[in-house]
């Protein structure tokens, strides 16, 4: 068989495995809705999904004041002083740190001390002018909202037990401990009077932050290193998850934002896992965990592409059959490179050649290598968009928003690098939504970027909870 023939066969097989049309979406959306409803009637102690946030208020856009927020995402720690100026306007002073592998896999207290160091720098240096003397001297506490982009078993708005973290974090002596306690201990060691007034997941923060801008928001969606979604649910539907003393004091119609942890949803029974997904999972330090997330989030798209490319190299059709030096390393092809390749519409493919120059090759890469690799990226990212659509569709149907006949917009606050910076991602999600819902409903769906969901959402909830 000629090389070009074997490449054709590889592509047609790949396209077949990765294509998600309406009929393939069906079991996924149904499976997700099923898990949403099972999760609602399962006590939170027995399940790591469908976590109550204890956030029952959304901002009006008119609130004012300065509040602290701490946003711990996949790799970045962002500590901010957020000035709410009213009329949906905010100003953020932010300090950013990157967590090293040693920090992510080391002792928990060392990690929390690292956070306290950054907090000290923000409060006493960068944002000093925003606080009064009593606050700076620690006489008056500063209110902090924590946006924690990992599963937490929340027991109240400002308390929550740290669960298994994911995203490469394996902190020692943290699982089962209260997140606020661990932070307060670290702040005490530094002599900082910062009080955690709210803990929230980034998906919850995104919904709250976007509600400050557009009060019609009904879903918070994260599409970044990880994926997740949140939505408001009637407290009466989630009694199994709350203490009777809590819900007895609430109006039956009150809604609370739920952190679905949809990243953990799904199983081999209904997710269309390919041999590449299974290989990625088997080599992961947390196998069988977050199978869905591993199929679509920014942490994994590059690795899936690399695994597929290795197959093409093996066939002789890519890089003349020789693996470029460095490319054999797991996770050596980041999702960012996929974005760059897909973004490069130039004739000479200058940017793409630049990306490939990160690897040593015996023969210089050819134009055809770039075309093949870019096509693999497109296949992997198009599936990712369809899988994101599955989450969004499930959340819309769960709330019956598709059945509202008033023709109103279905507003989704969406945040994350994979959505914001991956070329054509938004169009591809809309294509899948159109395929799933048809034009009448899909035209009403508005995916709106919720900027700084973590930091602004954190500060807003700190504010809502301290009044
Ligand atoms: C991971 C975390 C989840 C977070 C999401 C997006 O899936 O488990 O808590 O919301 O990433 O950052």
Domains of the chain (ranges; CATH) run 1-52+214-451 (3.40.367.20), 54-200 (3.30.420.40)
| Sequential pLDDT tens for the chain (467 residues) | 687 778 999 999 999 999 999 999 999 999 999 999 999 999 988 888 999 999 998 887 788 888 999 999 877 899 999 998 888 788 999 999 999 999 999 999 999 999 999 999 999 999 999 988 998 888 999 999 999 988 888 889 999 999 988 888 999 999 999 999 999 999 999 999 999 999 999 999 999 999 888 889 999 999 999 999 999 999 999 999 998 888 888 887 899 999 999 999 999 999 999 999 999 999 998 899 999 999 999 999 999 999 999 999 999 999 999 999 999 999 999 999 999 999 999 999 999 999 999 999 988 999 999 999 999 999 999 999 999 999 999 999 999 999 988 889 999 999 999 999 999 999 999 999 999 999 999 999 999 999 877 788 888 888 887 65
Q: What was the pLDDT predicted at 318?
A: 96
CA gap 150, 168 in Å, rounded: 11
Q: What was the pLDDT predicted at 467?
A: 54
CA gap 80, 95 in Å, rounded: 6
Say how many Å lie between the first and final Cα of the chain, rounded.
72
Pocket of ligand 1 (CB under 6 A): 73, 149-151, 166, 201-203, 222, 224, 226-228, 261, 263, 293
CA gap 333, 354 in Å, rounded: 13
Q: What was the pLDDT predicted at 251?
A: 86
Give the Å distance between the CA of 83 and the centre of ligand 1. Answer: 26
Burial 162-180 (b: 16+ CB within 10 A, else e): bbebbbbbebeebeeebbb
CB-based contacts of 85, cutoff 8 Å, min separation 6: 64, 91
Q: What was the pLDDT predicted at 221?
A: 98
Q: Percentages helix, strand, coil for the chain, rounded to the nearest 5?
A: 50, 20, 30
CB 410 within 8 A of CB 218: yes
Q: Given the CA of residue 167, which atom of ligand 1 is nearest to it?
A: 1
Give the Å distance between the CA of 259 and the centre of ligand 1. Answer: 10
Q: In what order do the strands lie in the sheet with 51-52?
A: 51-52, 255-259, 227-234, 217-223, 410-415, 445-449
Helix (H) or strand (E) holding 307: helix 298-314
Q: Strands of 112-267 (E only): list them.
A: 142-148, 152-156, 159-162, 194-200, 217-223, 227-234, 255-259
Q: Which two tokens stand for residue 46?
A: 């027995």
Q: What was the pLDDT predicted at 402?
A: 96
Q: What was the pLDDT predicted at 185?
A: 97
Give the Å distance between the CA of 222 and the centre of ligand 1. Answer: 8
């Amino acid at each position: 068989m000629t090389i070009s023939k074997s490449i054709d066969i590889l592509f047609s097989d790949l396209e077949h495995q990765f294509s998600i049309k309406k009929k393939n979406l069906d079991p996924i959306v149904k499976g997700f809705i099923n898990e949403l409803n099972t999760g609602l009637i399962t006590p939170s102690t027995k399940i790591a999904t469908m976590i109550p946030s204890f956030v029952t208020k959304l901002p009006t856009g008119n609130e004012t004041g300065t509040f602290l927020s701490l946003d711990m995402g996949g790799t970045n720690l962002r500590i901010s002083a957020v000035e709410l100026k009213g009329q949906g306007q905010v100003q953020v002073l932010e300090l950013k740190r990157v967590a090293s592998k040693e920090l992510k896999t080391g002792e928990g207290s060392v990690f929390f001390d690292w956070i306290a160091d950054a907090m000290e720098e923000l409060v006493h240096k960068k944002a000093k002018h925003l606080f009064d003397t009593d606050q700076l001297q620690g006489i008056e506490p500063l209110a902090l909202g924590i946006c924690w982009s990992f599963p937490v078993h929340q027991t109240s708005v400002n308390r929550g037990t740290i669960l298994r973290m994911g995203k490469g974090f394996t902190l020692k002596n943290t699982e089962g401990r209260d997140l606020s306690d661990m932070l307060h201990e670290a702040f005490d060691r530094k002599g900082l009077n910062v009080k955690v007034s709210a803990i929230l997941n980034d998906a919850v923060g995104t919904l709250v932050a976007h509600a400050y801008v557009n009060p019609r928001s009904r879903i918070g969606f994260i599409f970044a290193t990880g994926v997740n979604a949140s939505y408001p649910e009637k407290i009466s539907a989630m009694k199994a998850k709350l203490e009777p003393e809590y819900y007895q004091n609430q109006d039956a119609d009150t809604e609370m934002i739920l952190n679905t942890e949809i990243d953990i949803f799904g199983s081999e029974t209904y997710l269309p896992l390919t041999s590449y997904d299974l290989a990625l999972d088997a080599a992961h330090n947390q196998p069988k965990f977050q199978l869905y997330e591993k199929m679509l989030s920014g942490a994994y798209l590059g690795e899936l592409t690399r695994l597929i490319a290795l197959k093409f190299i093996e066939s002789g059709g890519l890089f003349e059959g020789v693996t470029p030096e460095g490319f054999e390393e797991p996770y050596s092809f980041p999702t960012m490179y996929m974005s760059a390749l897909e973004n490069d519409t130039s004739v000479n493919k200058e940017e793409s050649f630049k990306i490939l120059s990160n690897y040593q090759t015996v023969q210089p890469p050819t134009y055809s290598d770039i075309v093949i690799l870019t096509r693999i990226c497109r296949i992997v990212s198009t599936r990712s968009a369809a899988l994101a659509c599955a989450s969004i569709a499930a959340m819309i149907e769960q709330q019956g928003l598709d059945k509202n006949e008033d023709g109103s917009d279905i507003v989704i606050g969406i945040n994350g690098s994979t959505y914001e910076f991956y070329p054509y991602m938004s169009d591809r999600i809309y294509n899948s939504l159109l395929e799933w819902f048809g034009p009448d409903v899909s035209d009403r769906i508005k995916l709106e970027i919720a900027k700084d969901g973590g930091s602004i959402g954190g500060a807003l909830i700190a504010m809502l909870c301290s009044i």
